[in-house]
Structure 1
């Protein structure tokens, strides 16, 4: 991106100054024309009024009719000239002979200028011409007696220099106003530029554009869905991952500008705007798609102005969790088998050193046969290799922990038609087994029974332990998220167990009494792979 040589503040100041200057300049031009026209009209009207006043004077009319009192007409005309501040007042007879003039020597001579002809024919008008006193604006009015007969004419002149000065004086006020307006515009431009600069945190447009591009790329690249709303509940941001998840849920892919409550009626985002409280890992159902939502209010000056929510398909989270659980179980199984193998090596070493070879042969044979029998039984009964391997690991772990694990499988368990069921079963069996192992940790009789049965498309899982047992009130709480009697950062295993059972549309029965152990019975709808193919 090409960087501008001028700062944002400089651009705003220059732009505002240019706009103000052009606006005031055009206004000045228009008003100046009107002022000029108004001043000229005023001067014309003034000259005509003076001329009419003189033409109606009995002294002037009587002097023209009788050709007497010429000196009185001269004195009267000059008096009117001085009082009205005009350049000249000239009274003439029908031959164009002056009866008055500012210069007494011009009295009795013909009117000069060449524009007096129409007034001697009875017309009233204004003209511009040059006479003895220089260029002037002249108002001509005929003089008539009481019978309406024209007996002469009067010409009133206003110097063009005076007209120009009047126009200039009228325009000066406009020029001063323009300059003041321009100065105010400059000051306003500087203030506006500084205010905008403050709002933008001192960033220049290239930096803002770069941040916007980086923000957009970041939002579109993350795998979590992101949606933001303003204070009124209007959706202002939706990234690519969110649109993909909305499409999966059968919703409109691009809800920009829509109201969040109309688009997602069950959402809690609008409540977050009002409460201003953060919510973490809240489950929500989108037309059959379960998502985990984290919502954070956007706070400006201690006031919530919106909400940003990030969410992800719970199935993906569960797959990751199960993968981690599988790795942990695999490691536990390897550790248990390593311990068990070391113990057997110690027995073999002792028999070798004591040279009891017959006993050694019997022990090795018995160990191999036991392992083969256990492996064979498990693989024969459990046709899903993932689930079979998981259960073998649990058997080894129980032996390594000093517990007695009795595994019973009354019928063959076929592979499920939907491979995802295996992940859920590992979650269910794993959490039931771990919970049972924790329950017998302090029990003198460490025994866990694990039974599986499959009949009429129902898989039954039963885990019984000889632990301390539970009260009725405790049984009502153990499935709550975060509840545990074993310390902090616990209480998620049985919660995930309940979620997995709910997802598979199964059911669970808990039987327990204090000091009598606990029995979990889980019933899961289970379609076999061969049945699905049929």
Structure 2
């Protein structure tokens, strides 16, 4: 059993929460440190300013110089302490004897802390942290001078360190509350981000996406059809193995992925699909001489065309075989018609023999023989290619079987062809045009079809005319397209094969719709065999 995969939402939420926690803890530590340092600087600055102010006060100076005014020092310092939230303001004389203190019982006693010597002995301002009668405190000392510039004492302004710690702790609690709120917001944000990403990924987990990608690649590579896709910038994004085989056959050996499609396949028309947004089905295309049958479709995501895809198969050999088989099929149908006609006549002869109608039988046999001789004399005598002659005789039998009067006029002798492939294509041309002509006169009283065949200067000329319903103008513009038919589904290949065969032989095809019927005229090069007279 495989290892259980962790869900994407859990991974994202865990990662975001971890990042948020680290950021908040770091931020809390930095803020607490910065706040403590800034608070200490502010308190020191406050203590220094107040100590300087007290050292310049006339109440303090007069109290130190005049014994009678000494009592005003205590009142003055208590009032200043109350308004400035100081722990204490102590005024002392040069012997370190207190003249003021928050605890009146300590007035007249020596200053406690041991950090007053610098200001008393050297007359220098300084700041220190020391333990006194009120506990640990931050102290600012300033010397007191009289009008003559003689130092007469010092003032110490103190702020309890416990008060400073209390302020820092209060800030820390505020920061902690903010961090908890930030963490909750981070968790909610991570949850929403995870849901958003999963919605973009169609609810799939990463391992599921990886599995789908592998399966898609395997599917593309196992397909027999060539597959090529481009993005909206006309760059080739996917080419499977079957496509590369066709490309290699066409002389394209390097991988075309990442290249502009027009550089690799100049006539792929995939760029047109991006513009038109319309699919093209069963379109023949040539790649350096290799014929393929391609389907082209736009790739649409959220109603926007993001690329195009083409699937195709190599039709070079299949197309040749199909054309040959189409001629063989027509030839086989002609022979089947001859066989069927012959069997019908045998049944008639058998019936006459059974009824002993010998005179009528004699006349019937003579009629058959004369008709057959006329056809043989006209067709076989002038058409020296046995395959083509046999096919024409078969079409005569087929026409009679379908109650159609097919008149074949061979103006001159048609020599045997030097290439049997040409004969097969001629069978395709004559057979399909004749079948179309028969369909055109099905509902007409005049059920005649005229065909002429002539040869001159290595060119063969064929004309087939019916006296049917004609061809509408809108049909004329589409009737040579593969699959187009007015006769129903799975039709529409006859005229397409006729045109393809004519173009392959290097000939020309014309048609004209008259007041009554249509005539098709074909001209093709026709090389004859020189070894047959």
> Displacement of 1:163 after TM fit?
0.8
Query: What are the superposed Cα offsets for residues 380-429 of structure 1, whole Å, 9 maximum, x if unpaired?
Result: 9669xxxx5x985675465355376969773332247xx7x787666545
Q: Give the corresponding residue for 1:134.
A: 135
Counterpart Cα distance in 2 of 1:126 and 1:422: 120
Q: Give the corresponding residue for 1:111.
A: 111
Aligned with residue 413 of structure 1, among 411, 417, 422:
417
Deviates most, 148-157 or 45-54: 148-157
Q: Give the corresponding residue for 1:166.
A: 167
> Displacement of 1:46 after TM fit?
2.0
Contact 1:48–1:139 under 8 Å retained in 2: yes
Deviates most, 16-25 or 323-332: 323-332
Counterpart Cα distance in 2 of 1:422 and 1:8: 69
Pair 184,511 (structure 1): closer, same or farther in 2 beyond 3 Å: closer
Contact 1:411–1:454 under 8 Å retained in 2: no
Q: Give the corresponding residue for 1:186.
A: 187
> Displacement of 1:337 after TM fit?
6.8
Q: Give the corresponding residue for 1:50.
A: 50
Query: What are the superposed Cα offsets for residues 58-117 of structure 1, whole Å, 9 maximum, x if unpaired?
Result: 222333355663322223222222221122222223333322222223323332223233
Deviates most, 53-62 or 240-249: 240-249
Q: Does 1:480 align with 2:480?
A: yes
Contact 1:471–1:513 under 8 Å retained in 2: no
Query: What are the superposed Cα offsets for residues 107-143 of structure 1, whole Å, 9 maximum, x if unpaired?
Result: 2333222323333323323222222221222222233
Pair 5,474 (structure 1): closer, same or farther in 2 beyond 3 Å: closer
Query: What are the superposed Cα offsets for residues 442-501 of structure 1, whole Å, 9 maximum, x if unpaired?
Result: 68776775858696xx56363546664957969955753266565666443213322343
Structure 1 segment 432-511 matched on structure 2, within 5 A: 432-435=433-436, 438=439, 451=453, 460=460, 462=462, 464=464, 468=468, 477=477, 479-481=479-481, 490-510=491-511
Pair 517,73 (structure 1): closer, same or farther in 2 beyond 3 Å: closer
Pair 405,80 (structure 1): closer, same or farther in 2 beyond 3 Å: same
Q: Give the corresponding residue for 2:70.
A: 70
Pair 347,327 (structure 1): closer, same or farther in 2 beyond 3 Å: same
Q: Give the corresponding residue for 2:200.
A: 199
Deviates most, 441-450 or 5-14: 441-450
Q: Give the corresponding residue for 1:10.
A: 10
SS at match of 1:156: strand
Q: Give the corresponding residue for 1:99.
A: 99
Contact 2:284–2:294 under 8 Å retained in 1: yes
Counterpart Cα distance in 2 of 1:57 and 1:526: 134
Structure 1 segment 254-269 matched on structure 2, within 5 A: 254-257=255-258, 268-269=269-270
Structure 1 segment 343-354 matched on structure 2, within 5 A: none
> Displacement of 1:505 after TM fit?
3.8
Pair 148,129 (structure 1): closer, same or farther in 2 beyond 3 Å: same
Q: Give the corresponding residue for 1:278.
A: 279
Q: Give the corresponding residue for 1:29.
A: 29
Q: Does 1:88 align with 2:88?
A: yes
Contact 1:122–1:142 under 8 Å retained in 2: yes
Q: CA RMSD in A?
A: 4.7
Q: Does 1:399 align with 2:397?
A: yes
Structure 1 segment 421-440 matched on structure 2, within 5 A: 427-435=428-436, 438=439
How many residues align? The count is 506
SS at match of 2:182: helix
Unaligned runs of 5+ in 1: none
SS at match of 2:16: helix
TM-score, with structure 2 as normaliser: 0.75
TM-score, with structure 1 as normaliser: 0.75
